[in-house]
Structure 1
Amino acid sequence: MTKKRVVGISGNLTRPSKTKAFVGHIAGEVAGRIGAIPAVFDIEDLGPSLPQARRLSDLDLSARAIVEQLLAADVLVAGSPTFKGSYTGLFKHLFDLLDPTSLRGKPVILAATGGGERHSLIVEHQLRPLFGFFEALTMPTAIYASDKDFADGVLVSEAIQVRAQQAVAEVVNVVGATRSVGLAA
């Protein structure tokens, strides 16, 4: 039996990245619950071929391998830092390269980070429509975390952790768990 895969993709270009850590946290929680192998990438991992690419075949082999993992994932965790009220340009560019049917029915948890609460609707007004275009199965609970929810790049907010657990529970209901874990209320 092939092991399930959870892939996280972060739209961040800088390292260290709170967004990549946040996406990684969520992807790890999902993987643990469904007995999957997690892999987390950020836009930087796709390398220098991404900005000039006009189609997937323009990506170098390393970048194509990441895209193939994203497309083959049983669950996708997609997150971006907020940049001028939306996701980052290269995050969008990556998804512009994909076939419109390539994510159809794929369970996706949406996440975003930002400097403050005023950008919290990025997940609903920017990310959800993007994945709606692809007919992905986005989980009802999306998660936004601001700078105050992190300490030294680590998620410390209990409220955000509970919200993340809610999204994890939703995706587990879709793909199935391999072990029982108590859920946060």
Structure 2
Amino acid sequence: MNTKLTRPLRVVAVSGALQSPSKSASLAQYLLDLIAEQVLCQPKLVDLGLLAPQLTGSVWRAQVTDAVEQALAVVEEADVLVVATPVFRGSYTGLFKHFFDLIGQDTLIDKPVLLAATGGSQRHALVIDHQMRPLFSFFQARTLPLGVYATDKDFVERDLSDQALIERARLTVQRALPLLELTRNARHSAAECMLTV
């Protein structure tokens, strides 16, 4: 059996928090785990808080360290993305934006992207639709209709504890499954075409 046709989906989560560990990374990991329960996949978390000192010292892609280049490549080669960021002054963090500024402009075309954010209160919940969705529209990615926004009160330490939020996360993943299946089928069709050429 050809491995190109049987390879699990590469599902990559990116946490844009400035430090690690963080609530955003916990939320990203939680969503990643929910997807992995439903879909045959290779889940991976890219925690920008761990890369912050190396990432902020690079203006151009050619300047990044090997660790940052590896993280960029993992995101570019993903089949599905989960992105989570804390809200900082009404938007995603500068670290999150800087990382995606270094991503190849055409590498996210048509990729499903699940959007998530964390903030101090519900006042910032619209960051998903007003800030994050336009960013990934620029990349021509397919942002999923439902996003997940969590506040500090939804966590105990860094673990999700609010039942309503947990149900929202589950619903978001359930609604994403048809698109993830389309992604899998499209990838398999492309692989089959390559085999017949």
The offset of 1:76, in angstroms, is: 0.4
Q: How many residues align?
A: 178
Tell me the alpha carbon deviations over residues 132-167 of structure 1, each in whole angstroms, 9 at most, x when there is no partner.
Answer: 111110000011000111112111111111111122
Task: Establish whether residue 84 from structure 1 lines up as the match of residue 89 from structure 2.
Answer: yes
Q: Could you tell me which residue of structure 2 aligns to residue 182 of structure 1?
A: none
Residues 23 and 111 of structure 1 are in contact (CA less than 8 Å); yes or no, is this contact kept in structure 2?
Answer: yes
Rg (Cα) greater in structure: 2
1:150 paired residue among 155, 169, 175 = 155
Instruction: Give me the TM-score of the superposition, normalised by structure 1.
Output: 0.90
Tell me the alpha carbon deviations over residues 98-143 of structure 1, each in whole angstroms, 9 at most, x when there is no partner.
Answer: 2221111010000000011111111111101111111110000011
SS in structure 2 at match of 1:52: coil
Correspondence 1:80-119 to 2 at 5 A:
80-119=85-124
* Residues 47-56 or 8-17, more deviating: 47-56
Compared CA separation, residues 119 and 44, structure 1 to 2 (3 A): same
Q: Could you tell me which residue of structure 2 aligns to residue 181 of structure 1?
A: none
Task: Establish whether residue 50 from structure 1 lines up as the match of residue 55 from structure 2.
Answer: yes
SS in structure 2 at match of 1:48: helix
Tell me the alpha carbon deviations over residues 11-69 of structure 1, each in whole angstroms, 9 at most, x when there is no partner.
Answer: 10223201100000001111221111111122123353311323322211111111111
Q: Could you tell me which residue of structure 1 aligns to residue 10 of structure 2?
A: 5
Tell me the alpha carbon deviations over residues 62-85 of structure 1, each in whole angstroms, 9 at most, x when there is no partner.
Answer: 111111111111110001001111
Instruction: Give me the TM-score of the superposition, normalised by structure 2.
Output: 0.85
Residues 19 and 50 of structure 2 are in contact (CA less than 8 Å); yes or no, is this contact kept in structure 1?
Answer: no
Compared CA separation, residues 47 and 115, structure 1 to 2 (3 A): closer
Q: Could you tell me which residue of structure 1 aligns to residue 41 of structure 2?
A: 36
SS in structure 2 at match of 1:164: helix
Residues 47 and 63 of structure 1 are in contact (CA less than 8 Å); yes or no, is this contact kept in structure 2?
Answer: no
Residues 19 and 80 of structure 1 are in contact (CA less than 8 Å); yes or no, is this contact kept in structure 2?
Answer: yes
Write the distance in 2 (CA, Å) between the matches of 1:6 and 1:49: 24
Structure 1 unmatched runs, 5+:
179-185
The offset of 1:86, in angstroms, is: 0.6
Correspondence 1:156-171 to 2 at 5 A:
156-171=161-176
Task: Establish whether residue 124 from structure 1 lines up as the match of residue 129 from structure 2.
Answer: yes
Q: Could you tell me which residue of structure 2 aligns to residue 73 of structure 1?
A: 78
User: Considering only aligned residues, what root-mean-square deviation do their CA atoms show, in Å?
Assistant: 1.6
Give the fraction of aligned pairs with identical amino acids, expressed as a percent. 39
The offset of 1:171, in angstroms, is: 2.2
Write the distance in 1 (CA, Å) between the matches of 2:50 and 2:78: 17
